[in-house]
Structure formats: structure tokens, C-alpha cells
Amino acid sequence: MYRKQRSGWLKHIDFMILDLVCLQLSFIVSYMIRHGFKNPYYYPIYRNIGVFLVLTDIVVALFGNAYSGILRRGYYIEALAVFKQVTLTIGISMMYMFWTQQSSEYSRITFGVMWVLNGILTWLSRCIWKQYIHRRNGQIGNGRSLILVCGRNNATEFIQGFVSNNFENIAITGIVLWDNSGRTEIEGIPVVANDNDAIEYLRTNWVDEIMVDKDAIINDENSLNDFLAKVMEMGITVHVKLAAATDISDNKTVENIAGYTVLTSSVAMAGTKQLLAKRILDIIGGFVGCILMIIALIIVGPVIKIKSHGPVFFKQRRVGKNGKQFTLYKFRSMYVDAEKRKDELINRNEVDTSQMFKIKEDPRIIKGIGPFIRKYSIDELPQFYNVLIGDMSLVGTRPPTVDEWDKYELHHRKRLAIKPGMTGMWQVSGRSSIKDFEEVVALDTKYIMNWSIGLDLKILAKTIAVVFKGDGAM
């Protein structure tokens, strides 16, 4: 699922909050410098002007487009922008005091000190925050993994333009050079594939999005269109430079990425507010779930240790959103050699595919405690920690193991276009009783295409009922 770009002031609400904090801090400190260590909000006249300053600063910022291009500004340009905003905010506030005939009741020294202090604090905080954002953008684990697709003739120019304007949280993890003639890297970015092996690379690696310079490979348009169709089938978001964009999906939006106007297509899109609401739900649920996990640990932890030597927790590498790997946690319900014995039992797999592994009366399960904690999903409780730290969501799609992921076909990959979840559409539609993996993919795709907070709440409610009944667990 692709998050649409925020527009207007929402895109830089972090800077607005930072500015308001600096404004209030400078207001309080300047008052204390003039009047001693007293709280200005204790006095109605200063409390009123303090609130007016906040409202004025917001209005000045919005109508003056104070945050337009803020990530591109150098130190000098930023200083001029801060000077303009601070001067207008304090100037309008002083005009308000004269207009209400209250100017004689305010200290001019207080406002003079506040003007200087607010300018310095705002400039420093903006510069420091921008440095943090730029450093964060360079960390692949915190960003979006994007592959650039271009032809060899203009590859350097295209990539230089992208890199120089990459002020968003995007990690450029590789280049697909359509007609590669042996180049291994461009501008320090590795060439990971050409037109012959690009699909296989995208299928087996963490890739959230691709950006295509279609003009540079127009001579091979049929092959490129077939390539883009397969990429969309995998659930990867596609950005095509607008001058050459064609219809490749029903879900489209025009955006600006690294200075290029592009047509963005994705299997499903959601606004920032919707995804924020989902994340808040995950944080609340993850926090409550972690408390339940600690309580369960006190009870089942010693039993697991008594019944089977080894750790209480089971850790396993799983594949998350768009191929990004993470460590999944469970209470251990199987003996320590369970993974090694999996090959011995592969012929008993009740799912007609190698992409999932489920068997009844699994001999690897710890006798006594194992079936009980699996029946009521107690073994899943540590995954609330995965939800809390953002690796998973409360509701999503089942995260496959690495070996299952390696066997995925193109359309299977689409089910990982969102964060994996503790529960999901197919779990509440029969839990482990569903044996057809294609049915699982169909249910997961249906969830992705129709996602809403309301749907998540319905699935969570059904999950609670299913878990307490112990229906369908193996």
C-alpha cells in the first residue's frame, strides 16, 4: 500500500511544531529576563498575547508559504526566511497591542529580546532538524527502498538529477539499466539488473517502489510496458516521469519526487491521516498486548522450560512489506530442532503449495503446553512487540518465512504490499482450515484493495471471537 504525499502545510507540520515550540520558549525566557523567574501565563495580559503569538505565527506561516522548499534551503536563505517570519509575527502582535490600546502595559524590552531569541532559536532548530532528516534519509532501514529504471544514454544525468533533489525519505538501493553494456555502478549507486533479469531481482529483494525514465528507453516500449505490468502484479509502486506516462493502473496520482513530476501507480493508496490512524491503533494495541505478553510469560514461560530445554522465545527471520526482512518473535511451542525436522515432514504438508507449510498433529510441537498455547494463539503474543516497534501491524497479511518467499510467483508478492499483520482476512475466514494458498492470496489482495480502519476493527473483533473459541488452529 502506497502512502500518498502530503500536500501544503501538512507536509512540513514537523517544522511548524518546532517553530511554535521555539516561539513559546523565547516568549517565556524573554519575560523571565525582564521580570525575574515568573510564569508569564499567570498574568492574563501576557497569557492573551502568548496565545495571540501562536495564532499569528500559524497564519503567517500558512499564508506566507513559510515551509515551501524548506529542505532545499541553505543556511543563508534559511536565515532570511526565519527573519521574515519572526519579524512579521512579532510585528503583527505589537500592532494588535497598539490597536487594543494595551501597548503601555507590555514591556518593550521583553519583545525586543524575544525577537532576537526567537530568530536564533528558530534558525538553529530548523537547521538541526534538516540535518537529522538528511542523515535519516541516508539510512536504508528507515526509508523507502526505491529502484531507478533508465536507459544507458541519459542514465548519469537522470540519476544526478534525482540524487541532488532527494530530500524525501527515499533510499536508492539500485539501478536497473535497461540496455546495460557492462556498467556496475553509476554515481556510486550499484547497477543491480538489466532488462533481462530485472523482474527476478524485484521478486526476491526488498523493493517498495521503482521510478522509470521511460523517455530514455522508448525504443523498447512493448517490453517496458510488459515489465511495468509485471511490476504492478507484484504490488510494487510505480512512478513514471509524467511526460511519458501511460495508463498502467486505476490507482494513480500526480506527485513530485526529487524534482521530477511523475505519475504514481500502486495496487492501493491511502492518505497520511488514514495511515496515521492505523499506526495509532497499532501502538495502542501493541502496548496493551505487550502487557498481556508479560503476564503470559510469567505463567507459560516456566512450563515451556520444564517441558523442553531451550529458550522460551522463538525467533525467526520473516519477510515483511515489499520484501523487507525482520525478526519475528513467538513463545516457543515446538522442540528446538523443529526447523531441522521440517524437511522430514514436507510430504505431510496439507497446503497444496510450497509457499506455506501446515500439518495436523505436528510431532514437533511440545507435548502438553504446545497444543494449548497454539490453540488459543498465546504463542503469538510476543508479536505485539513487533507491532509496537513497527515491523508488523495488528491487521495485515501473514509474513512468510524466507524460504517461502523465495518460492513466490509474481502475483504472490502483491500480498506483501502492506505491513504483515498478527491477524488478517484469511485468518478470520477459516484460520488454518484454508488449504489453498491461492485462496489466501485472493483474500489478502481483497483486504489490501478494500482497506479501511473500519475493516481493521471488524477483523480484530472477529479475531477475538475466533481465538476464544479456538477454531481452526493446528
Answer yes or no: do 222 and 258 share one domain.
Answer: yes
Measure CA 430 to chain center: 29
Answer yes or no: do 454 and 317 share one domain.
Answer: yes
pLDDT, tens only, 113-156: 889 999 999 999 999 998 887 676 555 545 678 898 888 777 78
- Of the residues 245, 266, 287, the one at which a domain ends: 266
Give me the CATH number covering residue 237: 3.40.50.720
Residue 474 lies in a domain: no
High-pLDDT (> 90) share of the chain, % = 24
- Supply the pLDDT for residue 474: 45
Distances (CA, A) of 291 to 231, 315, 333, 466: 41, 19, 20, 21
Answer yes or no: do 286 and 322 share one domain.
Answer: yes
Please state, rounded to an integer, the average pLDDT across all residues of the chain.
82
| 430 — pLDDT class (breaks 50, 70, 90) | low
- Of the residues 246, 266, 286, the one at which a domain ends: 266
Answer yes or no: do 79 and 158 share one domain.
Answer: no
Q: Is residue 402 scored above 70 in pLDDT?
A: yes
**How many domains are contained in the chain?**
3
Residue 357 lies in a domain: yes
Is the pTM of the predicted complex or chain greater than 0.85? no
| 351 — pLDDT class (breaks 50, 70, 90) | low
C-alpha cell at 275: 495511515
Sheet-wide strand order for 189-193? 185-186, 189-193, 170-177, 144-150, 209-212, 237-241, 260-265, 252-257
Domain extent, residue 208, equals 144-266
Residue 362 lies in a domain: yes
pLDDT, tens only, 25-47: 999 998 888 888 888 888 777 78
465 or 10, which is more confident: 465
| 472 — pLDDT class (breaks 50, 70, 90) | very low
What sign for the dihedral angle of Cα 93, 99, 102, 104? Answer: positive
- Of the residues 250, 266, 282, the one at which a domain ends: 266
Answer yes or no: do 63 and 119 share one domain.
Answer: yes
Answer yes or no: do 107 and 175 share one domain.
Answer: no
Residue 22 lies in a domain: yes
Answer yes or no: do 238 and 278 share one domain.
Answer: no
Residue 92 lies in a domain: yes
pLDDT, tens only, 172-221: 889 998 876 677 888 888 999 988 888 999 988 888 888 888 766 656 66
DSSP notation for 362-397: -TTBPTTHHHHHHHTTGGGTTHHHHHHTTSSEEESB
Residue 395 lies in a domain: yes
Residue 50 lies in a domain: yes
Residue 37 lies in a domain: yes
pLDDT, tens only, 227-245: 888 888 888 888 887 654 4
Answer yes or no: do 209 and 252 share one domain.
Answer: yes
Beta-bridge partners for 254: 263
Answer yes or no: do 344 and 373 share one domain.
Answer: yes
Answer yes or no: do 290 and 261 share one domain.
Answer: no
Exposure of 47 in the CB half-sphere (CA atoms within 13 A): 6
Answer yes or no: do 291 and 422 share one domain.
Answer: yes
Answer yes or no: do 412 and 445 share one domain.
Answer: yes
Q: Which of 291, 301, 324, 345 is nearest to 420 (CA)?
A: 324
